[in-house]
Chain A
Amino acid sequence: MTTVELIGDQEPSVERLAEALGERFEIQRAESHVRDRVYMDTFDALLRARDWVLVHADSSLSLQNRLTGDELHSLRWPHLPTEPLLAAELAPGALRDALSRVIEARALLPLVRVHERSDELRVLDSLQKTVARVGVIVPEVVSNAGLRTPLRSRVRLHSVRGYEAELERSRALLAKTMPMAESEVSLLDEALLASGTPPAGASSRIDVGMGGEERAEEAAVRVLRALLAVIDANLPGALADTDPEFLHDYRVAIRRTRSVQRELAGVFPPADLAAMRAEFRWLQVATGDSRDLDVYLLGFDSMRGLLPEQIRGDLDPLREVLKGRRLTARREMARTLRGERAQRLRSDWEALLVALDQRPIADRPDAARPIGEVASRRIRKVYGRMLKMGGAIDQSSPPADFHELRKKGKELRYLLELFGVPLHDEAVVRPMIKALKGLQDVLGHHQDREVQVVKLRSLADEVAVMRDGSAALMAMGVLVGRLQQDAAAARSEFAESFAAFSSCEQRELVKETFS
Chain B
Amino acid sequence: MSVVLATYNIKGGVGKTSAAVNLAYLAARDGHRTLVWDLDPQGAATYLFRVVPKVKGGGRKLLRLRTPVQQLIKGTDYERLDLLPADFSYRHLDLALHRFRRPTERLSRVLAPLRHEYEYIFLDCPPSISLVSESVFRTADALLVPVIPATLSSRTFDQLAELADESGWGANGGPQLLAFFSMVDVRRSLHRTVMARMREIRRLKLLGAAIPQADEVERMGEERNPVAAFAPGSPASISYQALWWDIQRRLGMRRR
The answer, yes or no, to whether B82 is at the interface (CB within 8 Å) is: yes
Inter-chain contacts of B82 with A (CB < 8 A):
161-162
Is the C-beta of A93 less than 8 angstroms from some C-beta in chain B? yes
Q: Mark B106-137, 1 if CB is under 8 A from A, else 0.
A: 00000000001001000000000000000000
Cα distance A127–B52 when bound, in Å? 8
By CB atoms of chain A within 10 A, which of B72, B73, B74 has the most? Answer: B74
Q: Which chain B residues lie closer than 8 Å to A506 at the CB level?
A: none
**Would you call A163 an interface residue if the criterion is a C-beta within 8 Å of the partner chain's C-beta atoms?**
yes
Give the nearest-CB partner of B32 in chain A: A74
Is the C-beta of A292 less than 8 angstroms from some C-beta in chain B? no
Complex CA–CA separation, A84 to B50 (angstroms): 42
For window 66-104 of B, CB contacts with A under 8 Å fall at 72-75, 77, 79-80, 82
Instruction: Give the CA-CA distance A151 to B51 in the complex, in Å.
Output: 37
B60 on the A face (CB < 8 A)? no
Encode B3-41 as 1/0 by CB contact (under 8 A) with A.
000000000000000000000000000111100000000
| Contact assessment for A163 and B116 in the assembled complex, using a CB-CB cutoff below 8 Å | no
With a cutoff of 8 Å between Cβ atoms, the chain A residues found around residue B51 in the complex are: 127, 129
A77 CA to B30 CA, complexed, in Å: 9
In the bound complex, CA of A132 to CA of B219 (Å)? 26
Q: Determine if A161 and B73 form an interchain contact, defined as CB atoms under 8 angstroms apart.
A: yes
A162/B119 contact (C-beta < 8 A), A74-B33, A129-B50 known? no
Given contacts A71-B80, A74-B33, A94-B119, contact A1 B75 (CB under 8 A): yes
Q: A161-B82, A163-B75 are in contact. Are A128 and B50 (CB under 8 A)?
A: yes
> Shortest CB–CB separation between residue B33 and chain A, in angstroms?
7
B31 touches A76 (CB 8 A): yes
Residue of A nearest to B85 (CB): A162
Complex contacts, A129 vs chain B, CB 8 Å: 49-51, 77
Q: Is the interface of B mostly helix, strand, loop or mixed?
A: loop
| Residues on A with beta carbons closer than 8 Å to the beta carbon of B31 | 59-62, 74-77
Nearest-CB residue, chain B, relative to A61: B31
Total residues of chain A contacting the partner, CB 8 A = 22
Judge if A73 is at the interface, Cβ distance under 8 Å. Answer: yes
| Residue contact A76 to B73, C-beta cutoff 8 Å | no
| Per-position binary interface string of chain B over residues 154-186, scored 1 when its CB falls under 8 Å from any chain A CB and 0 otherwise | 000000000000000000000000000000000
- In the complex, whether A470 has a CB less than 8 A from a CB of chain B is no
A162 — which chain B residues lie within 8 A by C-beta?
72-75, 82
Interface centre among B32, B72, B73, B224 (most CB of A within 10 A): B32
Q: How far is the CB of A95 from chain B (nearest CB, A)?
A: 9
- Residues of A close to B80: CB separation below 8 A: 71, 74
Closest to A94 in B: B119
Interface contact A93-B119, CB-CB below 8 Å:
yes
- CA A59 to CA B79, docked complex, whole Å: 13
Q: Are A130 and B77 in contact (CB under 8 A)?
A: yes
A160 on the interface (CB 8 Å rule)? yes
Cα A127 to Cα B51 in complex, Å, equals 7
Nearest Cβ on chain B to A68's Cβ, whole angstroms: 14
Cα(A500)–Cα(B77), bound, Å: 61
Cα A162 to Cα B54 with chains together (Å)? 12
Write out, one digit per residue, whether chain A residues 45-86 have a CB within 8 A of any chain B CB (1) or not (0).
000000000000001111000000001011111000000000
Instruction: Tell me the chain B residues, 221-251 only, with Cβ under 8 Å from chain A.
Output: 224
CB nearest to A130 among chain B residues? B77
Chain B residues, Cβ within 8 Å of A59: 31
Chain B: minimal CB distance from A246 (Å): 30
Q: Which residue of B lies closest to A1 (CB)?
A: B75
A161-B75, A162-B74, A163-B74 known; A76+B50 contact, CB < 8 A: no
Q: What chain A residues lie within 8 Å of B32 (beta carbons)?
A: 74
Taking A76-B30, A127-B50 as contacts, is the C-beta distance between A94 and B116 under 8 angstroms? Answer: yes
Q: Which residues of A contact B75 (CB under 8 A)?
A: 1, 160-163
Quick one: closest A residue to B29, CB to CB?
A: A76
- Residues 74-111 (chain A) with a chain B CB within 8 angstroms: 74-77, 93-94
Taking the closest CB of chain A, its distance from the CB of B18, in whole angstroms, is 19
Q: Which residues of B contact A94 (CB under 8 A)?
A: 33, 116, 119
Residues of chain A in range 112-159 having any CB-CB distance to chain B below 8 Å: 122, 127-130
Q: How far is the CB of A121 from chain B (nearest CB, A)?
A: 13
Chain A residue at minimum C-beta to C-beta distance from B51: A129
A-chain residues with CB within 8 Å of residue B79 when the two chains form the complex: 71
Chain B residue, CB-CB nearest to A125:
B50
Measured in the bound complex, the distance between the Cα atoms of B33 and A1 in whole Å is: 13
- Residues of B in contact with A (beta carbons under 8 Å apart): 30-33, 49-52, 72-75, 77, 79-80, 82, 116, 119, 224
A-B contact list, 23 entries, CB within 8 Å: A1-B75, A60-B31, A71-B33, A71-B80, A73-B33, A73-B119, A74-B31, A75-B31, A77-B31, A93-B119, A94-B116, A122-B77, A127-B50, A127-B51, A129-B50, A129-B77, A160-B74, A160-B75, A162-B72, A162-B73, A162-B74, A162-B82, A163-B75
Chain A residues proximal to chain B, CB less than 8 Å: 1, 59-62, 71, 73-77, 93-94, 122, 127-130, 160-163
5 more A-B residue pairs beyond the given contacts A129-B51, A161-B74, with a C-beta to C-beta distance below 8 A: A59-B31, A61-B31, A71-B79, A161-B82, A162-B75
